[in-house]
Amino acid sequence: MVKKLIFTREQAPDSAWLEKIKQAGFETYHVPLIRCQTLALPESIKAVLPAADWVFFTSAVAVEAFSPYLRADCQIATIGPRTSRALDELDRACDFQASSHYGADFVQEWLALALPAQKILLPQSSLSNPSLAEALKEAGHEVWAWPMYQTTSNLTGQKQLENYLSQEDVIWTFASPSAWQSFCALKPQLPSSHQIAVIGQTTAQAVKESGYRVDCQPQRPSVEEMVKEIIKKEEDKHGIL
């Protein structure tokens, strides 16, 4: 039976990944379980925009939401290549890109530049962990962190879940704890043939804390690496070299 691979993040999977997945024998479906809505820029942030030295982006969504306010002379730091690609689409260069996809590592890599005190803007999701901003402040930098976009459950996607919960050989993919929480809100009963793949450790922890098993997790947290790991596990299972 053909396995079904379901992407639950808001963005549809990249076309290049879709082709690789199809070649590996999977059917793919996009069932977005979260929705990101841009919020108005607070007046307090508007006031400090001219003084900012850096903008830190931890997601492509943050880039898109903040793009109307991005100064040409402000330096930009990103958490990884996908976020940097969002800047490429705006014809903006990235001044610093972390090698890790985890926020704590992102901060430590940037702090290793040993820059004098900087003024940093940090547009985030409404569900973001405050630890990134706190670590920068503890290192002596001025940080303005605020919710640039709101992350909520996607009711349309949730309504589609039942169609797939009744099918066999399904692999659910989750790229954030918020997508997993939206999934769990419906208290799904997963058939034994269903598997769960996650993007990284934070999402894996959310899954495990809910009493479910993680079947696939890449060593490096990215959607591309997660897809590669899923394909590799399936090929290993069938002895494909």
Got the DSSP string for 44-58?
HHHHHGGG-SEEEES
- How many domains in the chain? 1
Answer positive or negative: Cα dihedral of 210, 211, 216, 220: positive
- Asked if the structure places residue 77 within a domain, the reply is yes
Per-residue pLDDT of the chain (241 residues; tens, 9 = 90+): 568 999 999 888 777 777 788 888 889 999 999 999 999 999 999 999 999 999 999 988 999 999 999 999 999 999 888 888 889 989 999 999 998 777 788 999 999 999 999 999 999 998 888 999 999 999 999 999 999 999 999 999 999 998 999 899 999 999 999 999 999 998 888 999 999 999 988 899 999 999 999 999 998 888 888 988 998 887 777 655 4
Gap between the Cα atoms of 114 and 155, Å rounded: 45
| Sequence-ordered strand ranges (E) for 40-169 | 54-57, 75-78, 96-97, 119-125, 142-153
Q: Which domain holds residue 67?
A: 38-151
- Asked if the structure places residue 132 within a domain, the reply is yes
Residues 130-151 have pLDDT tens digits of: 999 999 999 999 999 999 999 9
- Asked if the structure places residue 97 within a domain, the reply is yes
- Asked if the structure places residue 90 within a domain, the reply is yes
For 124, other C-beta atoms within 10 Å of its C-beta total 25
**CB neighbour class for 96 (10 Å; exposed up to 12, middle 13-18, buried from 19):** middle
Cα–Cα nearest to 2, from 170, 228, 165, 161: 170
Gap between the Cα atoms of 39 and 222, Å rounded: 26
- Asked if the structure places residue 56 within a domain, the reply is yes
The DSSP bridge pattern shows strands 75-78 and 195-198 to be unpaired
- Asked if the structure places residue 207 within a domain, the reply is no
Is the pTM above the cut of 0.85? no
- Asked if the structure places residue 200 within a domain, the reply is no
Q: What is the CATH number of the domain that holds 47?
A: 3.40.50.10090
- Asked if the structure places residue 17 within a domain, the reply is no
